[in-house]
Chains A and B, each alone.
Chain A
Amino acid sequence: MSKEPLEFTLNGQKESISILPRTRLIDVLRNELGLTGTKEGCGTGDCGSCTVLLDNQPVNSCMMFGLQARGRHVTSIEGLSQNGELHPIQQAMMDHGGIQCGFCTPGMVLSLKSLLHEKSTPNEDEIREAISSNLCRCTGYKKIIEAALSVAKTSSLSSVTKEDNNIIGSSMVRGDAEEKVTGGSVYAQDVSFPNMIFGVLLRSEHPHAKILSIDTSDAELIPGVKAIVCGREVDMGLYGYELRDHQIFALDKVRYIGEPIAAVAATSLDIAYEASAKIKVTYDPLPAVFDPEDAIKTEAPLVHDDANAYELDWETERSGNLCYKLNLSDGDIEEGFSQADFIVEGSYETPVAHAGAIEPHCSTARVDSTGRATIWTTTQKPFVFRSYLASALKRPLNKFKIVPTHIGGGFGGKLFPSLEPYAVLLAEKARLPVQMVLTREEEMACALLRHPSKVKLKTGVKSDGTLVAQSARMIFNTGAYGFYGPNTAALASLMVTGPYRIPNLDVTGLVVYTNTVPNGSIRAPGAPQLAFAVEAQLEKVARTIGMDSLEFRLKNAWDEGDVTCLGQKLESVSIKECLTKAADAINWNEKREPGVGKGLACLWWVSGQWGTQTLIESNEDGSFRLINGCVDMGTGGLSSSVIQMAADGLEVRPELIQLVRGDTDNLPWDHGHGGSRTVFTIGESAYDAAINLKQQILKEGADFFGLPLDQVYISEERLCVRGDPSQSVSLSKICFDRHKKHGGPMVGVSSSLPQPPPTTKDHPIGGFSAASFCAHAVELSADRDTGEVVVKRYAAAHDVGRAINPAGCEGQIEGGVAMGLGLALMEELVEQKGKIVNPTFADYLLLTAEDMPEIETILVEKPSKEGHFGVKGVGEPPIAPPTGAVANALMSAFDIDVTSLPLSSEEIARLIRERHHDQ
């Protein structure tokens, strides 16, 4: 096929190029013209990240042939700002916190720009509709809608002006906002090198089968194929998180549909796919097991011949397909139940779910002449990835350099290597840079997913509403490999009490291997599963004893000084305040119409620890560089809050502190972005580094004036003398002198590893640092016949300890609620005999802007006693309570028992029909 001419107008400029007929418009922009602001999230028109304007109308550029643009006007994000001036909607998106990971931002901005072009003053419904094709996984749309409304109201450039000079508690615009809103941020898929080739994986078609042979000879003959790698030629090590049971290629047998068998790199993606289809794998199918309850039976086929042989950091009993078992008890369960006036039992199930980041996994690797690999990749944990790769490929750690790109949404989906080892092996063999991208279908069906759960609860309660005992049997299907299975069960075990006093407890957690896709550690692992089970169970208990749901929860909720099941004495407890505020926000006590229900759910969660190191270095002009090895996955924790905390320590404007982006060669070590730790751990570390640096600056100032240290202070970028306003020197002079005249640049350093609070019992997770609390309340109605739900009001009250950046905290909560409502109502990967049958954004449904309800976000600030600021992590918790709150609202509206997620229209209609079938 030959190239055809394409002439069109792009961002006001005539373009004249030649392309192959099958080239899509998105490829014209990204590959032919190098404009990478247009993103590819799915390639099937289901996410909107590729939105461009075609003659002023927004369209999916992945859904058009490039040649169809002949003679037409195309606007991409790069063409939106004029003469260096941002379009008002771009400015508003920055000012209102409408940007998190930034991957959907260009498309979102263009859809809004088109709307504002058509209608100068659109209302909220029109805004929601206009962006209903643009999926955003981070924000919950609220701040995007506010941004659009602000432009609509004034129809001129309007910014949020803040007179407040406080650094802490101000909703500072994140440092990378302008870069993201103009489409300039480099994501993994935007990395490109001359001579770069493209890699794909050949994956297992069987859930469980012996591999008899792999024949690559035909594939190798295809022109353009540069490298084929399979397991037999690689010295593979076992690797994993707390459990090391995984190798990068299936060797003797495959254990799940989608398990990598071989990798192919070729000069084009088409050739790579063609070659991978020509690799002949002969299988001998084995009996497979998919349900964890079946898998723990003695006669079940074994997913791993000897699960006990794998290294596991935690003690456990393992046998057959049992990957990990956890027991946790408190008090005396028999005694507890004997005190109960009522005993309520319930079973709860949750499905496989996906992290749902709009950006698919992508990695590009280049191997130098010494065999050292550099990997540009989308990762939440660049440093930990080095160790994983070192173990997986049995090489020294320093053979890998990870360059983290901007992340188009993480949510725990990017905590583990996905394409990195294959890209390295292919690049090494081909001696060329290799790029690999997961297709959306691979992303949904083969990436590490959220553990499905089955939870059985038995609860004892006194007739006055006092909870006295609860037993739980939790079973988590970890899929074919352990990954974060043990960790998920261990975290989940601490969710069994919820933030409630339950003095007698008995928990069994089972993590089971099956021939299904392995599961990972998605945002708040175990929490949405248990928040659903525990809160629905408590609803049932409240109904049994005839007590109001709010009153019942308030009666049992933790107070200051209460002790958890591990014996952790709780401090700074705010759950009752959260509950009351959330319930008030939806007028809990007002009379309810028939078919309308209200529901509550609570959670407690950890602020993650793990080691980090922060350096803050002075520049010669009196500005600073903040250097930390974590990478902001989109939350803004690093690019706003951490900077604010450093600025507070240094007593300078946050604008003077630049966040350094780098790689594992030039940044100090950090554990990574996850576990609700960024602001708690890294922010505190940045503050300590700032204090360390400030001492050095003050010492310079004291020497300059010949005064004692305590006589100088920093104000308005100057070093001043106490009690003598006439004497001061600029910070820039002090810094300049250190750089150029004596001493060398100043650097503040902090290396830290926060320790969990003490407990009286041993547990793999242990005490929760800076424990956070939250409560959600929802009001909804449902159609009795069709089961369709309308969420009328939603309120989320979160104790964040201290809101360093309030808009940032709200953004985490609103985005988390959107994700949690998705889990409650529509998100489910359907597995049939080990195969995921709905691996697209057309059938794995994230909430759109039209589905997202009005939400009231309530920040409660009860500072933690840990750390200088008292912050509590807020990244993960918001996703969990929506599952329980929605379930409870439906239970109360229709007097039904809810037992599984998602609560699809079909499921709701079935529950109502079966309950009221005789009436």
Chain B
Amino acid sequence: MINNFNFLQAKNIKHAVDVLAREERVCPVVGGTNVLVNMKRGPLPVDTILDLSGLSALRSITTDDGIISLGAGVNVAELLEWSKANSVAAELFSPMCSEFAGPLIRNLATVGGNICDASPASDLAPPLLALDASVVLASKAREIRKIKLADFFQGVRLTDRLPDELMTHIEFQQPNDERFYYYKLGKRKADAISIVSVAISIKYDKEKVKRARIALGASAPIPFRSKSAEEVLFEKAMDPQIVDSAAAAAVADSNPIDDHRASAEYRRRMIEVLIKRGLTKIADERVNSR
């Protein structure tokens, strides 16, 4: 059952935020892959579809003064190409993008759509959380607003975006000497919804962890960073005991669901396994690279 709505194509960002300010119940769309699935399940509270797919301003990836900015309209296939060509956090982006749904969806689904859909199992969220990214929101009424991605997620499919705001891009500091790990555990090799996904970024200061970011998907009502695990690692050498404690802390921070894809118990075990693996791999690589 698909409901009725108006369809407006935004001419530019100003036009888009005007529409968002003026109209009630507007749904911004670039790819449409979330909206069309959701509409099939029942009428959405939407009167206007605002199509942003023609806005080239939303489709660029730029680096400016050490800040990398991913346009909300960049699709996952484009993000994959970019990560291969630029090797910016490629250990996070390449596997995430190439395991994101399947190639057909990757040609439609976008950065903005995946983030604003705020699925607990969002594939993009953990890598971007591990990069401490910020969502940039434009509106007619207010100044540009930036909010940490970690604060942007408010609940299952719920974000901090106000109805008149447009997510224009997401930005993060260009990584400098960080080490990364990413793993998505799914039920098959392609086109799978994650059971658990893990993204880790570690920055060392000599032998010790200067900064750890441990991000998890499908492990709680929202994708999140495990502050407890990050604290365990802070200013520690990554020996096996610390690794175990960090993994245990991440499990304690998590709150996964029990559903037909996996039990909460299995998800908790896998959070532990994958974080241990990730940290161990990063620690081993550091040893080997010296």
Where the two chains meet, the residues of A that have a C-beta atom closer than 8 Å to any C-beta of B are 1, 4, 20-22, 24, 43-46, 48, 51, 54, 57-60, 62-65, 67-68, 70-71, 111, 129-130, 132-134, 270, 273-274, 785-786, 788, 826, 830, 837-838, 842-843, 845, 847-851, 904-906, 909-910
Contacts and interface: CB of A to CB of B under 8 A. Distances in A.
A133 B106 CA distance: 10
B107 A54 contact: yes
A843 B102 contact: no
Interface string B69-113: 000000001000000000000000000001001111101100000
Contacts of B49: 21, 65
Contacts of A130: 103
Given A60-B108, A848-B191, A22 B4 contact: yes
B281 interface: no
A904 B107 contact: no
Contact of A270 (B1, B98, B192, B261): B1
B269 A22 contact: no
Given A65-B49, A67-B9, A826 B188 contact: yes
Contact of B108 (A63, A71, A270, A785): A63
A133 B105 contact: yes
B195 to A, nearest CB: 8
A71 B185 CA distance: 39
Contact of A45 (B3, B37, B266): B37
A43 B51 contact: no
Contacts of B29: 65, 68
Contacts of B32: 63-65, 68
A909 B266 contact: yes
Contacts of B107: 54, 57-59
Nearest to A849: B190
Interface residues of B, number: 48
Nearest to A65: B32
Contacts of B5: 1, 21-22
A71 B56 CA distance: 14
Nearest to A832: B260
Contacts of A1: 4-6
Nearest to A790: B189
B36 interface: yes
Contact of B193 (A51, A70, A843, A906): A843
Given A45-B33, A906-B262, 17 more contacts: A1-B5, A21-B7, A21-B49, A22-B7, A48-B104, A58-B104, A58-B107, A64-B32, A65-B36, A67-B51, A132-B103, A133-B104, A826-B188, A830-B260, A848-B189, A849-B190, A850-B190
B interface SS class: loop
Given A60-B105, A62-B36, A133-B105, A848 B190 contact: yes
B104 A909 contact: no
Counting from the closest, the 3 A-B pairs by CB-CB distance are A133-B102, A21-B7, A132-B190
A50 B106 CA distance: 15
Interface core residue of B105, B185, B189, B270 (most chain A CB under 10 Å):
B189
A4 B103 contact: no
B188 A851 contact: yes
A383 B190 CA distance: 40
B261 A133 contact: no
Nearest to B37: A44
Contacts of B77: 57
Given A57-B77, A129-B98, A905 B2 contact: no
A904 B260 CA distance: 11
Contact of B190 (A57, A63, A133): A133
Interface string B31-74: 11100110110000000010101100000000000000000000
Interface string B164-197: 0000000000000000000001011111110100
B124 to A, nearest CB: 17
B53 to A, nearest CB: 5
Given A58-B107, A132-B191, A68 B269 contact: no
Contact of B7 (A45, A67, A838, A905): A67
A132 B266 contact: no
A65 B7 contact: yes
Nearest to B2: A22
A112 B49 CA distance: 32
Contacts of A4: 7
B40 A68 contact: no
B103 A851 contact: no
B157 to A, nearest CB: 16
Given A22-B5, A786-B185, A59 B191 contact: no
Nearest to A58: B104
